[in-house]
Amino acid sequence: MRAITSVGVGRTKWVRFRLYFTALVMTALFMAIAYKSWSVQVRDGERMRAIGRSQYLKDLEVTAPRGTIHDRNGRELAVSVEVDSVYANPREITEPVVASKLVGRALGLDSRELLEKLDSDRYFTWIKRRISQEEAAKIRELKLAGIHLVGEPRRFYPGRALAGPVIGLAGVDGKGLEGIELAHDELLRGRNATLPALRDARGQIVLAKGWGEPATPGATVTLTLDSFIQHAAERALFDSVRENKADGGVVVVLDPRNGEVLALASSPSYDPNDPSTRGRKEARNRAVTDLFEAGSVMKAFSIAAAVDAGVVHGRDLIDVEGGRLQIGSKTIRDTHSGENVITVTEVMKYSSNVGAVKIARRLGKERLHAALLRMGFGTKTGIELPGEAKGKVHDPKRWGEIGIATISFGYGLMVSPLQLAASLAAIANGGTWNPPRIVKRIVGAGGHDIPLAPRESQRVFKAKTAREVTEMLKAVLEKGGTAEKVVVPGFVAAGKTGTAHKKKAGAKGYDDDSYLSSFIGFVPADEPRLVIVVLIDGPRAGKYYGGAVAGPVFARIAGESLKYMGIAGNMESPALSEAMDRLDRPSMTPLPEPAVELGDTDELPPAGPGEPIVLIPDFRGMSLSEAIAAATTAGVRVELQGSGRAVSQFPPPGRAMKSITCRIAFDPG
């Protein structure tokens, strides 16, 4: 009996233990569930609700019109025009095989690849974006269920290659990739429109109704560039590069009074409208990204530093020892002078290397180094363009005797063309250095001005120094100077030539047969309006001196630009007869010359084998944007003159001919 009782008690305890244990486990589970519910609904409630909303709500974005880029006179350099894109809703298509064949034929697409897109249960798929007007008309004629057209902005550059590396380009997604388009992408892009939509469990859009945030167009950016001066600079540069069989070149044109950039030309260049020309080499804006050992043009600044410090003056005599100076194992030689004693002005005029070395020695390493930094070398100018290089000016402790010698005439330091222009502008501007700028104004979508970053000028030379160095630079273009053949008809100019050996590629030392030819100058010399820097990289046509290669480019740009600006020349100048021959103010034709020269008639040569035939549209009555869109669709290159509505064109409309530039004149009236 006791045994039975003991067994019963043991079972009761075991059952009770299991009940307690089960209750404890259940309680723990309920507490865990309660805690999880609290954390999901209370602690993390807002985050979880956002995740839930994201699963069935989606904001569709519609790209905002990208802002326009103008030159200083309001000429459009980059515009956005609306073109059609084709998309499909496969669920609305009843016969995908038929639809794929018809749409493929209309758009020039592979019908088999198209069928894969159309024969699905998706709600949306792109077929072809940014199509021509002809293709859009074909799609409309088909009237196929599920095939739709929608307008999308496309970036167009009316000037074609004009200032291509400066303006840059925007990609198909509307984002800036190079140049101004990249530097001011956030402002130019504007704010896209949002369209609230619902999507099903598979993530497909099933309902979209009503706009959320409306699209805000991008800001309008006005540059300091002048299209005519830019075109003049590019034309003169490209001609020189071709004639001298050079690797490339750079031109910078500044207004010395305020540092505004009037032209930045680079060769090679590219047309941002043409994807095939957008290689990285061509896209580079060499005026701000490339560095050079500029050679003798740097004498203008090393001598100016010495004059400013009071260690030399224009009439002081310098013993140049017959144009030969030994420094250790190195020999410094002169090219243009065999004299023994010449003045400081003649050191500049004849570009004496020995004279520059002796002047730099009087100044000393520390003061020369400080002056170069003060003039902006070795530091970014802060121009509103991407990829600016700051240059390289070594610590004077590393110079040594040969270091100060070579730096005095432009070797041993790296400078950019823009730095050269800004520093020369300081001399032309009475000793005040203005930071170069290329953006003149930015206007937001609401018509309000967006403030530009403040720029501070600084005095780098005494006014007296600037006047004295200007007289020296004027002597360079006088008889006997290294630029005596550089003449700007009707004007007195000031400048400095440079001819530098280039470093050997991948090796130490310099290449005896590879040169950088340069000319820097300003005009009119006594009341400067233009500072022009010209660098021709690697001329190979038998001449390489800066005065012979780069000097004529300076003279051509200066002459054309001054007449365009309406600045009267000196009527008593010895070059008056030459100036009178070119007295007429040139018309603005800022686009490249047409591929076919037009004579007195409108007869054109027939198309050769394989040359495309284009039909010239009727542009008359169109606005600038409408003409651009029509020309893009037709595959016709255009040269645009004026603003307002198109009033005339050549060739006339309706002509079917090989690819040619069509000139269109606009009238604001």
Helix, strand, coil abundance in the chain, percent, nearest 5: 35, 25, 40
- Residue corresponding to tokens 């038929």: 98
Angle at 577 between CA 575 and CA 579, to 5 degrees: 70
Q: Amino acid identity, residue 548?
A: A
Q: Please list the active-site residues.
A: 296
- Token representation of residue 229: 């001066």
CB 354 within 8 A of CB 325: yes
Using CA atoms, how far apart are residues 96 and 603, in angstroms rounded to an integer? Answer: 49
- Residue corresponding to tokens 């497909």: 204
Using CA atoms, how far apart are residues 319 and 362, in angstroms rounded to an integer? Answer: 13
Rg of the chain taking only CA atoms, in angstroms: 35
Using CA atoms, how far apart are residues 613 and 610, in angstroms rounded to an integer? Answer: 9
CB 253 within 8 A of CB 287: no
Query: Cis link prior to 268 (omega < 30° from 0)?
Result: yes
CB 547 within 8 A of CB 526: no
3-class SS of residue 361: helix
3-class SS of residue 298: helix
- Give all strands (DSSP E) within 110-226, no chain letters: 125-128, 147-156, 193-199, 205-208, 220-223
Q: Amino acid identity, residue 58?
A: K
- Residue corresponding to tokens 């075991």: 14
Residues 6 or more apart from 551 whose CB is under 8 A from it? 483, 485, 486, 495, 497, 519, 534
